[in-house]
Amino acid sequence: MSKKQEKDTLQAKNMTRLSEIEEESEKAGGFHINLHLVLLAAIVLVIGFSAYRLFRWNMGTPPEEDTGEFQASDFDVEVLDNLIPLAPDKREGYVDDGVTTILCLGDDPFSLELGENGLAQQIAKKTGATVYNGSFTGTTMAAQFASYNDGYILDAFSFSYVAKSLASGDFDLMKTAATYSYDENFAKTAQMLSELDLNSVDMICVMYDGSDYINRRPCDDPNAPYDEITYTGALRSGVKAIQEAYPHIRIVVMSHTFCHSIDEEGNFQNGDRVDLGHGTLSHYLQKELDATMDVSISFIDNFYGSINEDNYLDYMTDYIHFNDAGRELLAQRFADCLFPSTND
């Protein structure tokens, strides 16, 4: 037999064997397995799974069940509270009367509501302290003029002037200026402050709203850190006067909240986006924090921690003033920061 005949015979045998195998496979499984189809199916599955994973990644991770508790990712800002306890040596020789007494100084947040829904009364309710309200409507932290001008009596009730009257015990300028005010509460408050025994006061809470920003008071002068016509200079100057006269008093600053200014057409302008000449509200906030650190007093951040751009409609009556809920929220922040045991 030639080689060609042998090759043809071998090929015929192989084809016969393959046919037998296919017949056996059909009998055993009922179908014929095609490797090409299996490979194609595997490729399709891989591509489909990858596409699904990409789709889920683009959608992001689904939120976890809301437990009602604060989540660290809820906000993108950090609250700037800075609570500094009074140094023990500041109370050496001081006789405590056993009653916690707080004096509130500032403007409209305290002065526009003097009843039980007022900020001072809410602080008293939430802390159990005796609270005096020494605020004056329409005033600012900084003075308008470098020296007192009879044509602008509100300077006599700005923070640095009030603080120096308290430190010195001289209320003549304040009382005289009050006689020219259309607000009868100016005279009443000036009289109360003149009669208040500062030796019985444990804490002074200072809060001005965004009035310095709106009235375009200069925010800060790095070359004159105690200049009373600047927002932070008036704060430093007033605090220093009280600290020197009454070192036993712990001083706490409550920052302004979010507010708007009003342009010439009567439209609201976002206080954190519009610079009226000396920075936005957040700039005033940072400088106020810096000033409190300079004079070692506590700072409670209401701009990020209480009433902000997202929730102000719930807590304000207009572009800057608070409703009852707003005042209660501010009082609660004060109590939570400084009297946490009262909330246990």
- CATH number for the domain spanning 330: value is 3.40.50.1110
Threshold 0.75, pTM exceeds: yes
Query: Same structural domain for residues 92 and 241?
Result: yes
Query: Same structural domain for residues 50 and 148?
Result: no
Q: Could you tell me if residue 1 is inside a domain?
A: no
Query: Same structural domain for residues 146 and 51?
Result: no
DSSP β-ladder status, 260-262 and 268-270:
antiparallel
Residue 298: give the domain boundaries.
Answer: 88-343
pLDDT digits (tens, 9 = 90+) for 224-277: 999 999 999 999 999 999 999 999 999 999 999 999 999 999 999 999 999 999
pLDDT digits (tens, 9 = 90+) for 165-201: 999 999 999 999 999 999 999 999 999 999 999 999 9
Q: Could you tell me if residue 66 is inside a domain?
A: no
pLDDT digits (tens, 9 = 90+) for 107-140: 999 999 999 999 999 999 999 999 999 999 999 9
Res 343: pLDDT: 62
Query: Same structural domain for residues 49 and 176?
Result: no
Q: Could you tell me if residue 76 is inside a domain?
A: no
CA-to-CA distance for 196 and 73, rounded, in angstroms?
46
Query: Which of 59, 78, 96 is the last residue before a domain boundary?
Result: 59
Res 61: pLDDT: 39
Q: Which residues have CB under 8 Å from 309's CB, separation 6+?
A: 258, 270, 272
Q: Could you tell me if residue 220 is inside a domain?
A: yes
Query: Same structural domain for residues 38 and 100?
Result: no
pLDDT digits (tens, 9 = 90+) for 307-325: 999 999 999 999 999 999 9
Q: Which residues share a beta bridge with 130?
A: 101
Q: Give the number of domains in the chain.
A: 2
User: Which contiguous run of DSSP H or E holds residue 277?
Assistant: none
Q: Could you tell me if residue 167 is inside a domain?
A: yes
Query: Same structural domain for residues 175 and 289?
Result: yes
Mean pLDDT of the chain: 86
Burial label, 90 (beta-carbon count in 10 A; 0-12, 13-18, 19+)? middle
Query: Same structural domain for residues 156 and 298?
Result: yes
Query: Same structural domain for residues 34 and 130?
Result: no
Query: Same structural domain for residues 266 and 338?
Result: yes
Q: Could you tell me if residue 209 is inside a domain?
A: yes
| Mean pLDDT, residues 29-38 taken together | 55
Query: Same structural domain for residues 52 and 124?
Result: no
Query: Same structural domain for residues 169 and 20?
Result: no
Res 156: pLDDT: 98
Q: Could you tell me if residue 305 is inside a domain?
A: yes
CA-to-CA distance for 103 and 35, rounded, in angstroms?
88
Res 62: pLDDT: 40
CA-to-CA distance for 202 and 209, rounded, in angstroms?
23
Distances (CA, A) of 102 to 133, 203, 210, 241: 9, 5, 23, 18
Instruction: Retrieve residue 344's tokens.
Output: 């246990």
Q: Cβ distance 244 to 230 under 8 Å?
A: no
Query: Same structural domain for residues 240 and 134?
Result: yes
pLDDT digits (tens, 9 = 90+) for 51-67: 555 444 444 434 344 43
Res 344: pLDDT: 54
The CA R_g of the chain, rounded to the nearest whole Å, is 37
Q: Could you tell me if residue 325 is inside a domain?
A: yes
